[in-house]
Amino acid sequence: MIIQKIHTISMIGAGNIADHLARWFQSRGYVIESVWSRNFSNAQQLADRIKANAVKYLEELSKTSDLYLVCVSDDALIDVIGKLSESGLKNKLLAHTSGSTPIDIFGKSFNNFGCVYPLQTFTKGKPLNSEDIPIFISGNNDFTIQLLGNLANDLSPKCFVISDEQRMNIHLAAVFACNFTNHLYCISQNLLTESKVSFVLMHPLIRETFQKAIENNPCEVQTGPAKRNDRSIIRKHLDLLDEKRNLKEIYQLLSESILKQDEI
């Protein structure tokens, strides 16, 4: 590998993350050469949008790309990387975008590999506000780390080199702060709907909760019945949830967890 800087990229995968990343790369002057997807029409759609070349088989990927970025679901990674190892890319630079997969999944089939992990939730059709998205990179050698680091630096002012273990913990923390939080919003909305109240009325409360959490240490601004150890309210709420066993368990577990937090 004799490149000093990445200029051209091929995308392996054409889903939500591939779509957002490809546009992000283009906005910073990178050239997307080819796009592959298990579903060819997806590859074609993405390639059309970004004026790249859609390919049906991995062997048809451009041979001249400086980076081959694997943006497929974690479940598909092993399979896709296995097939890539037969595509003549042994000395090329490859990276995946998975939060919870070690980079040595590229194993002994490749000489230069790593990960580019942007910490964000990507919504189909919603343009990225990419200004302050942190990008975490990993690589199997100094050269790889430098190339991916330069790429990440072009995308965001917040780039960090991390270990597999750190990335996995960051992904786990993101599941709590993003995916689970959104699920609680969903539960809240369902409870309100039952009471014929619009979730829109909850917006100022959840905005304030978010604002407080970013202006402070969230652990220190906890409020609510569990924080006050207000047993009579907790009991009333559990009674209300008597016929919703799932929500009752979540209420109980999170309330106990808030109580325990103060014991630590």
Q: Which of residues 2-61 bind a copy of itself (CB under 8 A)?
A: none
* Interface residue with a copy of itself, options 29, 75, 108, 242 (CB under 8 A): 75
Nearer to a copy of itself, 51 or 125 (CB): 125
Stretch that binds a copy of itself, among 23-31, 50-58, 142-150, 211-219 (CB under 8 A): 211-219
H or E element at residue 45: helix 40-50
Nearer to a copy of itself, 142 or 194 (CB): 194
Angle between helices 40-50 and 16-27 (to 10 degrees): 20
Question: What minimum distance in Å lies between the beta carbon of 10 and a copy of itself?
Answer: 24
What residues pair up with 8 in beta bridges, in sequence order?
31
**Contact positions with a copy of itself (CB under 8 A) in 98-157:** 100, 119-123, 126, 129, 132-134
225 lines the binding site for a copy of itself (CB under 8 A): yes
What residues pair up with 31 in beta bridges, in sequence order?
8
Say which residues have a Cβ less than 8 Å from residue 136's Cβ, sequence separation at least 6. Answer: 115, 117, 118, 119, 159, 160, 161, 162, 166, 167, 170
Say which residues have a Cβ less than 8 Å from residue 117's Cβ, sequence separation at least 6. Answer: 97, 98, 99, 135, 136, 137, 138, 167, 170, 171
DSSP 90-118: TTSEEEE--SSS-GGGGGGG-SEEEEEEE
Nearer to a copy of itself, 38 or 227 (CB): 227
Stretch that binds a copy of itself, among 32-40, 47-55, 82-90, 184-192 (CB under 8 A): 184-192
* Interface residue with a copy of itself, options 64, 91, 141, 182 (CB under 8 A): 182
What binding mask, one character per residue, do residues 157-176 give for a copy of itself by CB under 8 A, x or -? -x-x-x--xx-xxxxxxxxx
Structure tokens at 233: 């309210």
Question: What minimum distance in Å lies between the beta carbon of 13 and a copy of itself?
Answer: 14
